[in-house]
Structure formats: structure tokens, C-alpha cells
Amino acid sequence: MKKIKYAVIGTGALGGYYGAKLVHGGCDVNFLLHSDYKYVKENGLRVDSVSGNFVLPHVNAYSSTSQMPAADVILVCMKTTNNHLLKDMLYPILQKGTVIILIQNGLGIEEALSEEIPEAGIARGLAFICAEKTGPGHISHFDYGKLILASFNLDRTDVLKNVCDDFSNAGIPCVFSDDLNLSRWQKLVWNCTFNGLAVVLDSKTDVILANDKTRALALDIMKEVIAGAKACGVDLNEDFADSIMEMTLHMRPYAPSMKVDFDHKRPLEINAIYTQPVLFAARNGFAMKKTEMLEQMLHFIDERNRNK
Amino acid sequence: MKKIKYAVIGTGALGGYYGAKLVHGGCDVNFLLHSDYKYVKENGLRVDSVSGNFVLPHVNAYSSTSQMPAADVILVCMKTTNNHLLKDMLYPILQKGTVIILIQNGLGIEEALSEEIPEAGIARGLAFICAEKTGPGHISHFDYGKLILASFNLDRTDVLKNVCDDFSNAGIPCVFSDDLNLSRWQKLVWNCTFNGLAVVLDSKTDVILANDKTRALALDIMKEVIAGAKACGVDLNEDFADSIMEMTLHMRPYAPSMKVDFDHKRPLEINAIYTQPVLFAARNGFAMKKTEMLEQMLHFIDERNRNK
């Protein structure tokens, strides 16, 4: 098997962690950086991880895709709030057969990219990980890390299976799923619940779950997302809410990515994580009322937070 | 008609305003005060009102009902969060035929008092008023003021009609309603919407309604409360939401009483304004999901606010 040439678009917590692990495992990875470009070009990447710390003193850092070599597999790890820039960013590194894996949150993002670049081979990466960028080129990985890969429109999925092998060899548990919708909605059960609550209640997961009323609310939202998934034809059992609740109760106190974005006054991923799922479910006849209420409140809070 | 002897229980914004207006109109009123007792005993009450300022240098101020003369009509104007103390507070001033008018927020409060004092004649006062206590014995009245009176368990309602006359003569628009449930739910349409949103979003009414998403949310909650009322057999039309929205859009920027309580780190009236309506509707087969979500969040925020 030919060695895959990877490009990581967005070297934050996710892109930094997964990309660095791939390099650490012997893969060929080019990184696109924005604010950290100069720092990482000179100092490389540092990963503090529950599964072992390591430093990469030199990485292939780029500040623009126009200087970057074409890639076999592109790992899109930036926030969905900038997905309107994706088409222009990706064109310089696309070649025949390039697979774009969106390791991002939410619903409807593959559909949007596919409309913009109809010839693109698109897949999704669902990351189940607690990580944060704690400084320039410095990733802290607290918990979990599993990646699920699923095809959106690929003719052949053997590339995804090879990517899976690369991740597994690099120490990242990675599985291939042949049901993109199931995987997307599974991830949403956690995302729709804790991202919004953490922002509206200005709290980490442990504090939200320590209160009887907001723990009940979290469970309500999980079950509502599962009902939304079912309305969309996804076979997701109600018990899944209990297992996600158990997992979150046993996690260390965690600030979901939307809370981190909020604290840094960055735009929140409201559209992909909230608006799209509510729309998908509504189109299939189900009203996700509590999820929609979070969406409504988040718009208000996001605007105030960024003084718009 | 014999002159009615009034007792005002709780001389805050509501009790202070309505009681002072009655005194100003020539009525016989005794006031129960807590923190402001000494100040009001010495300095009386001051009302700054859109319909005219006035000062009452001397009022009948009491710090306990045990020193107060028995009353014909008791206006209970304190927060429902202290209603568990009501039975003991009222006994010393009850006499045969005393009518207790609860000028309070929420649902289920008449039912609770009636269980505690089975012999009590109970009525409800629904206050549509924007007022705030801005200092000891100092009430600021910004807008509106209308009072609706409705019987809960009175054998004869002529007393209520006489009270209505006293209020009207004192310059308070007052009407008698023979449908307590309709009046209670009408008031809830505003209360369930703006009290909770103002606390969760930490904002006054104008800011909430200036944002498209939270204005839509406010309308959603109003319509949900109306649907809850309908489930409980109350004949309330959906159009009522639009008229309440219009009214609120034309009010001066207003902090609902729950927001004022929140800012002063006082307990919030969650049970009467949220828990009870949600329960009443649920018992009648309707789930008030967004209202319930406010209730759940308010419990969390209230506990944090008072460092419980």
C-alpha cells in the first residue's frame, strides 16, 4: 500500500492532536496553521496526553494551502463556522482521488461542501475526544480519542480503511462505519446537549450534571435528539442516552468546544450543531423543542458575547 | 357600605403601591413590613408614579401581625417563596368573613393556602403593573397598574366588588372577573415568558425582544402557555400571545420581578410561576417543553446565585 500523503486543515486541538499522532506514528502530514503558524514553524508541536506526552520539534507547517503539496487525504479539523472558506482553501491541494474527511461537528456539512465542490470525494470523521489547545502549538489531550470514519459519497471506501489502519497504528482507536447518518446523530446526542448547556449555564459538564434539574434537562435533550434521529430514519435506541450520560458522568470536568469558543469570544458552531439538526428533524415531522430553545438562546448569547 | 379595614401583607413594590394608593384614596390600611419597618414607621411611604407622585408621611406600620388589628380584607403582596409562612402570619388578623386576596404570581397558591386554612375565604388579585421598590418605603411605578380580582372559594363576591370600588376610587383600574382560571393563565402568558428569559439571558424585556431568535422564543413560550391553559380547560385564544407581545414591545425596558429578585440574590418564584403551571398542564396531558426547560435552568441558576 502506497504511503498516504495527509493534509491537516486547521491545527487546533483536534487537528493538532490527530495530525501529531499520525506523524508520531510515521505518517506523512502537512499542517495548515493560521495564528500559530510562525510559532509551530519554529518550535513544532507539543502534545500532553493521558496516553503519553511527546514533542515534534519539526513539522511541515504551512500558512496557506497555495504553498502546500496536493494531498491524498485531507483532514478538515477547523471549526464549521469557517466552512464558507473551505472551497477556496481546498482547491490548491485537491488531486484526482483526494478524499476529504470532515472531522467536524454537526449536520449538513457534507451536503454543503458537496454542493460547492461536486467532484469531491467526501467522508466524515466523528471524533470522540476531550482535548484543548492550551497554547500555541500545544495540545492537551484529557480523555478518550476514538475516531469513527464514514463515507458520504465515496465510490470506494478502501482509502478510508487504509486511513483507519494509519490511525490505529498511530495509537488512535479508529473504526469504519458504513452508516454515516447513525454516526452523525450519535455524536449529536452529546454535542446538542452539552455544548449549548455549557454556554447558556456558563458551566462545565460536572457542574451541569451535579444539579438534579439540569441533569434531567440534559437527559431530556439527549432523548429529544434520539427522537429527532429516529424521525430522520436513523436506528438509534433510547438506551444510548443512558450510556452517553454514564460516560459524561465519568469524564473529568469538561468544557465542550462551544464553551471554549464562547470563553475566547469566538463564533459558536450554532448552525452545524443546532440549526441543521432541528431543521432535519422538522422536515421529517418532529419538533426538537428543547434543542431549538438552546439554539435560540445561543444566537442571543453569541451576539452579545461578540458585541455584534 | 361599611368602610373596609385592609391589611397589606408584604409592603414591597406591589403592596406598597396598591396600599399607598388605597390610603391616598381615603381607605383604612394597615401595613406589615419586614426590613423597612423602622424606616417606614418614622418616614412613611413615598410613591413616584407615572400617574402622579405622592408621599404618605404617616402610615399604620407593623412588624408583626400579632400587633395588628383584625382585617376585613387582607391583601397578600409578598413573594410566593415565603407562602409556607403565610398560615402563621395570617391567623392573628383573621376574623369571621375575612377575605384573603392573593396579589401574587403563579398557579396553585390558592389551592395550597386553602389546604392550610380550610375556613379561609380566598380570592386572587392579578396585577398588571410595572413597579419596583427602589429604596426603603420608596416605590417607583413605571407603567400600567390594572388589577383583576377573582374569587377562589368565596360564597359571596359582593366584598370583592366593594374592594373593586375602593381601588377604582383610589385611581387603580380594577375589574372583577368571574373566571379565576382564565385570569391566572392570562397573567402566566407574560410571567412564564419574561421572568425566566430575563434571568437566564440576564437581560431586560427590550433586549430580549430586539433579537429575532429570542423574540421568536418568547412567542413560542407564550403560545405554549396558551396551549397549556387550553389543556386545562381554559378558553384562551392564540391571538392573546400577539397582544401580549405588542404590549411588551411598547413597554419601557423592564426587569421582571424574578430578574429583580435574581439581581438581589433573593429566592426566585420558580414553583408558582413555572413548576405548578407545567404540572397542571402535564396532568391534563400537555407537555410545556420550553417552559419546563426554563424551570430546569432556573433551578440551577437560582442555586448558583445564592451559593447553595
Average pLDDT, stretch A231-246? 96
Q: Are A184 and A126 in contact (CB under 8 A)?
A: yes
Average pLDDT, stretch B89-110? 97
Cα dihedral sign, A283-A287-A291-A295:
positive
Q: Which among A152, A178, A204 is the end of a domain? A: A178
Give the best residue of A268, A293, A308 to mutate against chain B (max B CB count within 10 A). A293
- Judgement on whether residues A43 and A173 belong to the same structural domain of the protein: yes
Among A201, A299, A303, whose Cβ lies nearest the Cβ of B297?
Answer: A201
Is residue A187 part of the annotated active site? The answer reads: yes
Say yes or no to pLDDT of B1 above 70.
no
- Judgement on whether residues A190 and A151 belong to the same structural domain of the protein: no
- Judgement on whether residues A51 and A20 belong to the same structural domain of the protein: yes
Q: Which residues pair with B48 in a beta bridge?
A: B140
Residue pLDDT, tens place only, B138-163: 999 998 899 999 999 999 899 999 99
Q: Which among B124, B152, B178 is the end of a domain? A: B178
In angstroms, the Cα distances linking A116 to A28, A61, A120 are 28, 26, 9
| B217/A296 Cβ within 8 A | yes
Q: Are A146 and A173 in contact (CB under 8 A)?
A: yes
A219 vs chain B: nearest CA distance in angstroms?
Answer: 12
Give the CA-trace dihedral at A291, A292, A297, A300, to 10 degrees: 140
What would the grid cell of residue A37 be? 503558524
* Chain B residues touching A211 at Cβ < 8 A: 299-300, 303
Q: Can you give the CATH number for the domain in which A197 is found?
A: 1.10.1040.10
- Judgement on whether residues A158 and A188 belong to the same structural domain of the protein: no
- Judgement on whether residues B236 and B101 belong to the same structural domain of the protein: no
Say yes or no to pLDDT of A174 above 80.
yes
Average pLDDT, stretch A107-111? 96
* Chain A residues touching B214 at Cβ < 8 A: 296-297, 299-300
**Among residues B190, B307, B202, B204, which one has the least CA distance to residue B254?**
B204
pLDDT at res. B307 = 85
Among the ranges given (A9-18, A101-110, A216-225, A250-259), the one the predictor scored with the smallest mean pLDDT: A250-259
* Chain B residues touching A289 at Cβ < 8 A: 220, 289-290, 293
Average pLDDT, stretch B266-289? 98
* Chain A residues touching B295 at Cβ < 8 A: 213
- Judgement on whether residues A43 and A103 belong to the same structural domain of the protein: yes
Count CA within 13 A, CB hemisphere, residue B264: 13
| B216/A297 Cβ within 8 A | no
Task: ipTM value, please give it.
Answer: 0.91
- Judgement on whether residues B121 and B193 belong to the same structural domain of the protein: no
Instruction: Give the length of chain B.
Output: 308
* Chain A residues touching B293 at Cβ < 8 A: 217, 220, 289-290, 293
Please name the residue that has the C-alpha cell 386554612. Answer: B117
| A297/B211 Cβ within 8 A | no
- Judgement on whether residues A192 and A287 belong to the same structural domain of the protein: yes
Residue pLDDT, tens place only, B226-240: 999 999 999 999 999
Q: Is A122 exposed, middle or buried (0-12, 13-18, 19+ CB in 10 A)?
A: buried
Q: Can you give the CATH number for the domain in which A81 is found?
A: 3.40.50.720
**Among residues A16, A56, A263, A7, which one has the least CA distance to residue A139?**
A16
| B293/A214 Cβ within 8 A | no
Contacts of A101 (CB under 8 A, 6+ apart): A73, A74, A75, A76, A122, A123, A124, A125, A149, A160, A163
Average pLDDT, stretch B121-136? 94
What would the grid cell of residue B114 be? 386553602
Among A217, A295, A300, whose Cβ lies nearest the Cβ of B296?
Answer: A217
Residue pLDDT, tens place only, B165-185: 999 999 999 999 999 999 999
| A293/B213 Cβ within 8 A | no
Q: Are B75 and B15 in contact (CB under 8 A)?
A: yes
Residue pLDDT, tens place only, B38-77: 999 999 999 999 999 999 999 999 999 999 999 999 999 9
- Judgement on whether residues A187 and A133 belong to the same structural domain of the protein: no
How many of the other CB atoms lie within 10 Å of CB of A249? 12
The mean of the pLDDT values for chain A is 96
Say yes or no to pLDDT of B251 above 90.
no
Catalytic residues of B: 187
pLDDT at res. A210 = 97
pLDDT at res. A265 = 97
* Chain B residues touching A271 at Cβ < 8 A: none
| A208/B296 Cβ within 8 A | no
Cα–Cα distance between A4 and A1 in angstroms, integer?
A: 9
A177 vs chain B: nearest CA distance in angstroms?
Answer: 34
Instruction: Kindly state the percentage of chain B with pLDDT values over 90.
Output: 94
Cα–Cα distance between A7 and A30 in angstroms, integer?
A: 5
Average pLDDT, stretch B274-299? 98
- For chain B, the residues whose C-beta falls within 8 A of a C-beta of chain A are 200-201, 208, 211-214, 216-217, 220, 289-290, 293, 295-297, 299-301, 303
Say yes or no to pLDDT of A264 above 80.
yes
* Chain B residues touching A290 at Cβ < 8 A: 289-290, 293
- Judgement on whether residues B20 and B119 belong to the same structural domain of the protein: yes
Average pLDDT, stretch B110-130? 95
This prediction's pTM:
0.92
Boundaries of domain holding A226: 182-306
Instruction: Kindly state the percentage of chain A with pLDDT values over 70.
Output: 99
Beta B60-62 vs B28-32: how paired, if at all? parallel
pLDDT at res. B144 = 85
- Judgement on whether residues A127 and A10 belong to the same structural domain of the protein: yes
B212 vs chain A: nearest CA distance in angstroms?
Answer: 9
- Judgement on whether residues B135 and B201 belong to the same structural domain of the protein: no
User: Chains A, B: CB contacts under 8 A, how many?
Assistant: 60
Instruction: Kindly state the percentage of chain A with pLDDT values over 90.
Output: 94
Give the CA-trace dihedral at B274, B279, B280, B285, to 10 degrees: 130
| B297/A211 Cβ within 8 A | no
Say yes or no to pLDDT of A144 above 90.
no
Confidence band for A252, pLDDT divided at 50, 70 and 90: confident
Q: Which among A178, A208, A225 is the end of a domain? A: A178
Q: How many domains does chain A have?
A: 2
| A297/B217 Cβ within 8 A | yes
Confidence band for A242, pLDDT divided at 50, 70 and 90: very high
Q: Are B176 and B150 in contact (CB under 8 A)?
A: yes
